[in-house]
Amino acid sequence: MIKQGGEFIMSKVNGCDIPEDLYYSVEKHVWGKLEDDGTVTVGMTSVAQSLAGKLLYITPKKVGRKIAQLKSVATVESGKYVGPVPALFSGEIVAV
C-alpha cells in the first residue's frame, strides 16, 4: 500500500497501482468515483486506454439523460476501438 498524509490511498496488484477510492468493473474496463456531493465521476481503466490506443473522439450522452447501470454514458473512438463506456451506477448525467 502507498501512504499519503497518513492515509492509505493505493494498493499494488501485480505491479499496478489501484486507487482505493474508486469502484471498478474489471470486465467492462471502467471505474467510478463517488464524489462528496453524491455525484459519480467515471472513466476508463488504464488497461482499456492502453488496449484502445490514442483516443480520437469521446461522445458523452447529454446532460439530463437518465442512464441505467451498465448502459452507455459515452462512446469512445480510437484507432483500435469504437464502443461504449458503460455506467457503473444508474443515475442521471448532470455534467460532462
Taking only the tens place, the pLDDT of each residue in 16-57 is 667 888 888 888 889 999 899 999 999 988 888 888 889 999
The structure's pTM equals: 0.75
- What does the H/E/C string look like for 27-80? CCCEEEEECCCCCEEEEECHHHHHHHCCEEEEEECCCCCEECCCCEEEEEEECC
Q: Is the pLDDT of residue 7 over 80?
A: no
Side-chain half-sphere exposure of 43, counting CA atoms within 13 A: 9
- Name the average pLDDT for the chain: 85
Domain 21-92 has CATH 3.40.50.1100: no
